[in-house]
Amino acid sequence: MKLSGQGLLLRIFIGEADKYHNKPLYKQIVHQARELGIAGATVLRGVMGYGANSHVKTTSILRLSEDLPLVIEIVDTEEKINSFLPHLEEMMDGGLVTLEKVQIVKYSHHKRDG
């Protein structure tokens, strides 16, 4: 699949410990996006952050098992992103979701030699 032109960036801020149906929420979000044919999704793990509850989460040595912040970025056409939003709403109890218009410059498979 090739993709270029105007698109949307869906950015989702959640915690590493957030769950949906007793499974990690971030995994559920990525799997749902893939199932719906969304172009791509990336999960980024934060080293420090806080959200609506103002509780700071960090990777300090004493807190390695804390609930670290995660950001999931998903890019596709406006139509595809909008079709994903109801699924996301169902999965999320809390967190932050943002949308930004983006210009997709290049999206394609790696070409393999041989």
Sequence-distant (≥ 6) Cβ neighbours of residue 95 within 8 angstroms: 12, 13, 14, 15, 18, 51
Give residue 62's pLDDT.
58
Whether 11 contacts 98, CB under 8 Å: yes
Global pTM?
Answer: 0.84
The lowest-confidence range among 64-73, 89-98, 104-113 is 104-113
Task: Report the distance separating Cα 82 and Cα 98, nearest Å.
Answer: 12
pLDDT by residue (tens digit) across 3-39? 778 999 999 999 999 999 999 999 999 999 999 999 9
pLDDT by residue (tens digit) across 48-62? 777 776 666 666 655
Q: What is the mean pLDDT of the chain?
A: 87
Any idea where the domains of the chain sit in the sequence? Answer: 15-104
Indicate whether 114 pLDDT > 90: no
Indicate whether 46 pLDDT > 60: yes
Q: Which CATH class is domain 15-104?
A: alpha beta
Signed CA dihedral, 24, 75, 8, 43: sign only: positive
| Strand-pair partners of 48 | 58
